[in-house]
Structure 1
Amino acid sequence: MLEVSQELILAALWETLYMVSASLLFGALIGIPLGILLVVTRKGHILENRVIFSILNPIVNIFRSIPFIILLVAIIPFTRFIVGTTIGTTAAIVPLVLHIGPYMARLVENSLLEVNEGIIEAAQAMGASKTQIVFRFLIPEAFPSLILSLTTVTIGLIGATAMAGAIGGGGLGDLAITYGYQRFSTITIVVTVVLLIIIVQGIQSLGNIIERKIRRV
């Protein structure tokens, strides 16, 4: 029985890591460009465009306003269209990406807005193009803050994957609900919570270490 429990726990741990890594990858492909656009198209910035900003800003706000558990259910038809099913770890990645993408965009936006305007002015004075300003000045200056933002996003994803387990998304959340809550296994819940704490603490510590090293460079 102990051996079976260990196998289930390891399988659930792998599913959680799979969901987090895949969602983080696809979420970054949406969130990072979106965050950059929210900065450079705002009033007074290098690519000021009121139309684009007025469209993107409310879209991000709308998705960020929807609790993940509601988004999970609301886009079931879309999830089925994308992956062909609404159950399992792969299906859970679709709502996770739509949940974390706008969230990451806001964090990226905040990190980039922290960059001193004098750096942008100096880049313009040196004749840098708008693309060079973004990728050679803006992003490098905000990189330590972006690392912390990425750390926050990853931890948020871990919590979201636990909620995804409530509707059969797999992972540690599903294990806690199916075997811990529904079958009254206290030890399963304790082990699940401990594993989640270890993962979160490990990611936060790693993010802090990387951020400190970058700032010292």
Structure 2
Amino acid sequence: MSTDILWLIVKATGQTLQMVAIASVIGTLLGLPLGVFLATSGRGELYAAPGANRILGAVVNATRSVPFIILVVAIIPFTRLVAGTSIGTNAAIVPLTIATIPFVARLVESAIREVDPGLLEAARAMGATRLQIVWKVLLAEAKPGITLALTLTVVSLIGYSAMVGAVGGGGLGDLGIRYGYQRFMPDVMAAVVVVLIVLVQAVQSIGDRLARHFDKRARPR
């Protein structure tokens, strides 16, 4: 493998990390509070708003139901409006972020709903405010689950970032298609696959360690 190809792999890896990092941060900043709201806004819950819960839940489900590659194509006009172009790394961040928000929201909602309801009742009995219950009980107790949810999100985004390369999104997927497939260079395709596997393994390992660190039940007494 030539030096030029190695440089292309390094450059493509940087583009993939950029896409995944930005989409993860923005998606989490928007998806986390949305997930908290979905978990606490049902009938009789902490921030009871069943109408809003149903509407937002339907929007989240609809967005998650669209296959990612179709979502990328469907929102090309919106991508052009936001990024000024529909191809390249910056453009790819738009559909990646939109796909991330409902994904994070549902995973966070699931993690919060696993918190023991008795803890909420105890917090209410002690006079805790709703914000205190969310911050000091729900999010604190769900931290291991939320950590694993965000880990799964980043791992999924790495795969999505490779898929978006099929429509000119840049990154490792684009490199694999242009050189590994279209130019019949199996060594480049193999290198792209190896780099993707390493990235996923690294993210998963870090996420698992953080989840164990946050999990009070896993700590030795």
How does the TM-score come out when normalised to structure 2?
0.96
Hey, what does 2:203 align to over in structure 1? 203
Hey, what does 1:57 align to over in structure 2? 57
State the distance in 2 between where 1:211 and 1:28 align.
Answer: 17
Hey, what does 1:123 align to over in structure 2? 123
Instruction: Report the AA paired with residue 12 of structure 2.
Output: A
| Structure 1 residue 86, shift from structure 2 partner | 0.4
State the distance in 2 between where 1:53 and 1:192 align.
Answer: 42
Instruction: Report the AA paired with residue 56 of structure 2.
Output: L
Instruction: Report the AA paired with residue 149 of structure 2.
Output: S
- Alignment of structure 1 residues 118-197 onto 2, 5 Å: 118-197=118-197
What 5-or-longer segments of structure 1 have no aligned partner?
Answer: none
What 5-or-longer segments of structure 2 have no aligned partner?
Answer: none
Identical counterparts, % of pairs: 48
SS in 1 for 2:215: helix
| Structure 1 residue 83, shift from structure 2 partner | 1.1
State the distance in 1 between where 2:116 and 2:85 align.
Answer: 47
SS in 2 for 1:45: coil
State the distance in 2 between where 1:89 and 1:42 align.
Answer: 39
Total equivalences in the alignment: 217
Instruction: Name the Cα RMSD after superposition.
Output: 0.9
Instruction: Report the AA paired with residue 70 of structure 1.
Output: I
State the distance in 2 between where 1:211 and 1:40 align.
Answer: 23
| Structure 1 residue 160, shift from structure 2 partner | 0.3
Runs in 1 of length 4+ with deviation above 4 angstroms?
A: none
Hey, what does 2:29 align to over in structure 1? 29
Hey, what does 2:97 align to over in structure 1? 97
